[in-house]
Structure 1
Amino acid sequence: MKFLAIAAFIGTVAVPLASAYPVEDEFVDCYSGPDTTYDVEEVYPAGDEINVTCQIAGESVDSAETWFKTQDGCYVQDVYVHTGNETITPAICSSDDDSSDSNNSTITARAIVGRADVGSPIKDDYPSAYKSQCGGVDPWRYYKCQCVSFAAFRINKRLNIKFTNSYKGQAWGNAKTWYNAAKKAGVKANNTPKPGAIAWTDKGSAGHVAWVAKVSGDKVTVEEYNWNNPKRYGKRTVAKSSFKKYIHLK
């Protein structure tokens, strides 16, 4: 991965087609502008090859400000594109966003989670191997197909945090104890939901946790396992007050 400074790209440099590279995660969002506040226009699955037409400075993500414009007319951040050890030098996007066809290069999209828009896509991406072995222990020391297992999966995959049942020296246990574990671990928890947060309640014998996918006013859309569908995926939009706290691991 090359973190490329905009100043290094001034001038026209011919770029050969790059080979396909290994992809570690599952998707990367492509925005209508070089900032995560813009609408998501495309979602590239892992392994998709995308045509990069030009580059532009935009919102800083993981200390990098370079964004690439794709053949679809939307923008992906440099840190989500895997180019191996090769340097790609597409032309600077012009002020009217016209791209330079002479400097196209083909690269492979690489989704690195932990970006601002961690809520999307809203879908059941829990590994099929876990679904077929409900009751077994997952890599994060939870029972598969439970709400805590799905939450731990999303924290690892989309927030890029190595979360386990003993994160930061605390025994997180079942869902009911997650809020207390977060406080002891110094993890922020409050009444404000945002995409990528963990919605928490201590209702029921074991409590419940869910992944916050979207926030609209006083409504929150969550994804979860083992709520209305025993040991299965579900999603719902409810009042944000339906949960007692929101745990922000990132």
Structure 2
Amino acid sequence: MKFSIIAFLLQATAFTTLTAAYPIKADDVNCRSGPGTSYTVKKSYAKGKDISITCQTAGESIKGNNIWDKTSDGCYVSDYYVQTGTDGYVTKKCSSSGGGSGGGSSSIPGPVKDDYPYKSSCGGTDPWLYFKCQCTSFVAWRINKRLGVKFHNQYKGHHWGNANSWNDAAKASGVTVNNTPKPGCIAQTDAGSAGHVAWVTAVGDKTVTVEEYNYATVEGYGKRTVPKGNFRYIHIKV
């Protein structure tokens, strides 16, 4: 009888372990430091790999599914790529402190949406001494709001001016400028009559996704994904 009880418990434990593991249903699925594609890739899973989910949380929507699964490896994978048998939650929700970090703060790079405060009142100057609804005003606002840096047109004693002078002003201010984008840094180019700056929201293997103002839409918001080489990158905080 004692042997039968032990055997039953072992079988129950094995069953529990098996039901807690779910297969990956796509090739080379990235597991990231947080619930979104802007977070650092920690590892990748092959198709068919069984993963154990410790908790689930809401994050960036992937093909209509905003659930992200925290694996036993301590990273997050989109639930869209995990064969759980449902589009809903299959285990407990992660604690508020378990969402990972893409750049030291949950606000970096932040949600991808047009939350610029002056979109309905273009014209005149903003609190950072830029013209409202221009690319420079939008990025200056993002730097203040999401990076928590008190940035303005005379940051660190240097005149940043038009977008085509931001890289030189950054270097003069001791701010890193390079060819390596990170979510929450500034994309900058000298192209055009006054150059252009944008907010980096996600980074791929060869591409970068930016949010911007006054590019494809005059004095309006836009988002696009382009080759990394289209810009240089200003790292005010990240």
How far residue 165 of structure 1 moved from its aligned partner, in angstroms, is: 0.4
Say yes or no: does 1:164 pair with 2:134. Answer: no
Paired residue for 1:73? 93
Check conservation: 2:35, 2:58, Cα contact below 8 A. no
Larger Cα-atom Rg: 2
Q: CA–CA distance in 1 between the matches of 2:224 and 2:106?
A: 21
Q: 2:175 aligns with which of 187, 199, 212?
A: 187
How far residue 214 of structure 1 moved from its aligned partner, in angstroms, is: 0.1
Say yes or no: does 1:231 pair with 2:219. Answer: yes
Root-mean-square deviation (Å): 2.7
Q: 1:120 aligns with which of 110, 114, 133?
A: 110
Question: Which one-letter code corresponds to 1:207 in the other structure?
Answer: G
Check conservation: 1:114, 1:158, Cα contact below 8 A. no
Check conservation: 1:117, 1:195, Cα contact below 8 A. no
Q: CA–CA distance in 2 between the matches of 1:72 and 1:135?
A: 48
Pair 185,215 (structure 1): closer, same or farther in 2 beyond 3 Å: same
Say yes or no: does 1:141 pair with 2:129. Answer: yes
TM-score when normalising by structure 2? 0.60
How far residue 114 of structure 1 moved from its aligned partner, in angstroms, is: 5.8
Q: CA–CA distance in 2 between the matches of 1:195 and 1:116?
A: 12
Check conservation: 1:137, 1:144, Cα contact below 8 A. yes
- Structure 1: segments with no counterpart, 5+ residues: 1-35, 44-57, 59-70, 79-112
SS of the aligned residue for 1:177 comes to: helix
Q: CA–CA distance in 1 between the matches of 2:174 and 2:97?
A: 30
Question: Which one-letter code corresponds to 2:34 in the other structure?
Answer: Y
Q: 2:210 aligns with which of 222, 242, 245?
A: 222
Deviations 1:115-146 (A, max 9, x none): 1661231111101xx12221211010000000
Q: Count residues in correspondence.
A: 156
Question: Which structure carries more relative contact order (alpha carbon 8 Å, separation 6+)?
Answer: 1
Check conservation: 2:162, 2:195, Cα contact below 8 A. yes
Question: Which one-letter code corresponds to 1:38 in the other structure?
Answer: G
Q: CA–CA distance in 1 between the matches of 2:220 and 2:156?
A: 29
Stretches (4+) displaced over 3 A: none
Q: CA–CA distance in 2 between the matches of 1:124 and 1:38?
A: 22
How far residue 38 of structure 1 moved from its aligned partner, in angstroms, is: 3.2
TM-score when normalising by structure 1? 0.57
Say yes or no: does 1:248 pair with 2:235. Answer: yes
